Amino acid sequence: MPNAAPNLLPDAPALRLAGAAAPRRPGVDGLAGVDLELARGDFLLVHGEAGAGKSLLMGLAGLTRRPGSGRVEVLGLNPWRLRPAGRARLRRRLGLIFQDLDLVEDLTVAGNAALPMQIAGARPEACRRDVAELLDWMGLGGRAEALPRDLDHDERQRLAVARAVAGRPEVILADEPVGWMGPDAARRVLRLLLQLNRQGATLVVASRNPDLVPAPRRLELARGRPLAETPGEVQP
Amino acid sequence: MNRRLGPRLATVVIAAAFTALAGLAGLAGQASFDRAEGWRARLAGEMTVALRPSPAADADAARAAEVLAGTPGVAEARALDRTKVGALLAPWTAGARGPDLATLPRLIAVDLDPRRPARRQDLDIALSAAGIDALVDDHQGWRRSALELRERTAAPLVGVLVLCAAGLAAIGGFAAGQETGRREAGLRTRLRLGATPFSCLVPVIRAMVADLALASLAGGLVAAGLARASGLLSEVAPLAQAGLLAAVSATGLLIAGTCAFAIAARRIGELES
């Protein structure tokens, strides 16, 4: 599966935030003063209590939220200086797992999973083949024609993960990717994410659980402020 | 993607009503324009010569008609008989018992040669040379009245057309806002996954244009049916009616579609950024 856009700046960091801040709502403080640089292939676990600002950070990195101040660069580009079409091309290089899942309710499971590839212009047969393989791997092979509302939360979350990784993104941003899953499914999903990271994708996982997965880099957030980044465990 | 029937139907009905109203206003305007133009052209091709009442008026009228008929630029000149003159002037001269025909001027209707029409001065000169005391009316006043009538009719019709255009713009914008709102979650997800705003706009506009085109067609047909049933617009040729209604419907569709496009593009732009 090809990526949506050619890698124009191969040496640029995958993600760079400099003094980035994002209000929770207009006039309400959210996240402030985040400085972060991730090289290609890095893996960062962001953890903190509920309301610490993890989702705001993921929103800034995933281009779903415009920074109130500071600077955000993704794959060497300042997305908010690009035209909408350029920003769209950049978004195709990201794989997002939203906390609210953001499934398209009137598309089938297969349709949801295929969406990033369709948007990137992949051929329909390639789409069908890859989606079938991916859904099988995620344990959703038998539900390909179901609608998201017919899935339980565990299945919905697996579908969100499948959709995020379907386009072989260069950067994967996973906000509580296994929060509602049973232990087996969670292990399987985390294994998939780590495998993609080993293959070169930059991975950022946000979770309330600091022990969710061993990560070489860890960043704790508290009340919207980053605490000192700590080195984590090296993957086996 | 299933769409709710109620809002769609409301959009189609309201847009069709505005289109039909605009079509009727257009037809009425065309009919009134054609009628006024017809009057003006007819009046421009004629002049009226009035002889003062006198005992020898009948003989003078016959002589004047002869003189005028021989004047270059005149196709035909005929003296109107007293009864016809009485009927023509009745609105201005009739008392309770009708006009006294003996006191009425004698009128001569002059048809001008359409290729090289005579001027008023030409008739004056010809009549003076023949020693006939007469007043030549070249119908300037009547022609001015026809033009004024046309202008007076045009103003309210233009008002109705502007109202319809505003209504169609509003319904197009409103429907696009509703449709974008209904699809908001799906659009936001697609944008987050890297779809361009334009690619998200296309299905919204396609759905809108299908409804608005249906409304435009229905409105045009309703206007045609009403115009035919009323019989008031019979002087507009059927082909011209069809052309006019097609133009009005297409313009209405363009206005509503443009507004729908603008509103949907703005909403999707807001979702994207």
Single-letter amino acid, residue B231: G
Name which of A75, A81, A91, A117 to mutate to probe chain B: the one with the most chain B Cβ atoms within 10 A of its Cβ: A91
Q: Each residue of B55-70: pLDDT tens digit?
A: 777 788 889 899 999 9
The secondary structure of chain A as a DSSP string is ---SS--S-TTS-SEEEEEEEE-SBTTB--EEEEEEEE-TT-EEEEE-STTSSHHHHHHHHTTSS--SEEEEEETTB-GGGS-HHHHHHHHTTEEEE-TT----TTS-HHHHHHHHHHHTT--HHHHHHHHHHHHHHTT-GGGTTS-GGGS-HHHHHHHHHHHHHHT--SEEEEESTTTT--HHHHHHHHHHHHHHHHTT-EEEEEES-TTSS--SEEEEEETTEE---EE-PPP-
Q: Verify that B268 and B152 share a domain, yes or no.
A: yes
Number of domains in chain B: 2
Q: Each residue of B239-259: pLDDT tens digit?
A: 888 888 999 999 999 999 999
Average pLDDT over residues A168-182: 91
| Domain-located, residue A20 | no
- Cβ–Cβ < 8 Å for B180, B204: yes
| Domain-located, residue A16 | no
Which of B121, B138, B155 is where one domain is finished? B138
| Domain-located, residue A32 | no
User: What is the β-pairing status of strands B74-79 and B106-112?
Assistant: antiparallel
* pLDDT at site A133: 93
* pLDDT at site A3: 43
Taking an 8 Å cut-off on Cβ atoms, the answer to whether A84 and B269 are in contact is yes
Q: Verify that B243 and B188 share a domain, yes or no.
A: yes
Range of the domain at A195: 41-63+84-231
Which of B80, B108, B138 is where one domain is finished? B138
| Integer CA distances (angstroms), B251 to B22, B106, B137, B176, B216, in order | 10, 53, 44, 18, 9
B199 in contact with chain A, both atoms CB, cutoff 8 A: yes
Q: Domain with B129 in it: what CATH number?
A: 3.30.70.3040
Q: Verify that B79 and B152 share a domain, yes or no.
A: no
pLDDT at B83 > cutoff 60: yes
Taking an 8 Å cut-off on Cβ atoms, the answer to whether A4 and B194 are in contact is yes
Taking an 8 Å cut-off on Cβ atoms, the answer to whether B193 and A92 are in contact is yes
Contacts 24+ apart (CB under 8 A), B225-229: B226/B20, B226/B24, B227/B23, B227/B24, B227/B27
Q: Verify that B157 and B240 share a domain, yes or no.
A: yes
pLDDT, greater one: A172 or A185: A172
Taking an 8 Å cut-off on Cβ atoms, the answer to whether A84 and B188 are in contact is no
Neighbouring-strand partners of residue A148: none
* pLDDT at site B35: 83
Q: Verify that B158 and B243 share a domain, yes or no.
A: yes
Which residue among B193, B198, B269 places its CB closest to the CB of A91?
B193
**What was the ipTM of the complex prediction?**
0.88
Q: Verify that B63 and B178 share a domain, yes or no.
A: no
Number of domains in chain A: 1
Q: Residue A119: list chain B partners with CB under 8 A.
A: 190, 193-195, 199
Residue A1: pLDDT band with limits 50, 70, 90: very low
* pLDDT at site B57: 77
A183 in contact with chain B, both atoms CB, cutoff 8 A: no
Q: Verify that B180 and B100 share a domain, yes or no.
A: no
| Domain-located, residue A94 | yes
**How much is the CA Rg of chain A, to the nearest whole Å?**
17
Tokens read off for A121: 């212009």
Which of B101, B118, B138 is where one domain is finished? B138
pLDDT at B98 > cutoff 60: no
| Domain-located, residue A170 | yes
| Domain-located, residue A225 | yes
Name, of A53-62, B42-51, B94-103, the range with top average pLDDT.
A53-62
Residues in chain B: 273
Q: Verify that B14 and B76 share a domain, yes or no.
A: no
Q: Each residue of B178-206: pLDDT tens digit?
A: 999 999 999 999 999 999 999 999 999 99
Residue A157: count of CB within 10 angstroms of its CB: 25
Mean pLDDT of chain A, nearest integer? 89
- The structure tokens 């780590």 sit at A194
Residues in chain A: 236
Q: Domain with A149 in it: what CATH number?
A: 3.40.50.300
Q: Verify that B32 and B151 share a domain, yes or no.
A: yes
Q: Verify that B20 and B98 share a domain, yes or no.
A: no
| Domain-located, residue A1 | no
Q: Verify that B161 and B265 share a domain, yes or no.
A: yes
| Domain-located, residue A103 | yes
* pLDDT at site B75: 93
pLDDT at B117 > cutoff 70: yes
Range of the domain at B159: 5-39+147-272
A64 in contact with chain B, both atoms CB, cutoff 8 A: yes
Q: Verify that B209 and B252 share a domain, yes or no.
A: yes
Q: Residue A115: list chain B partners with CB under 8 A.
A: 189-190, 193
* pLDDT at site B93: 66
Residue A228: pLDDT band with limits 50, 70, 90: confident
Name which of A58, A104, A163 to mutate to probe chain B: the one with the most chain B Cβ atoms within 10 A of its Cβ: A104
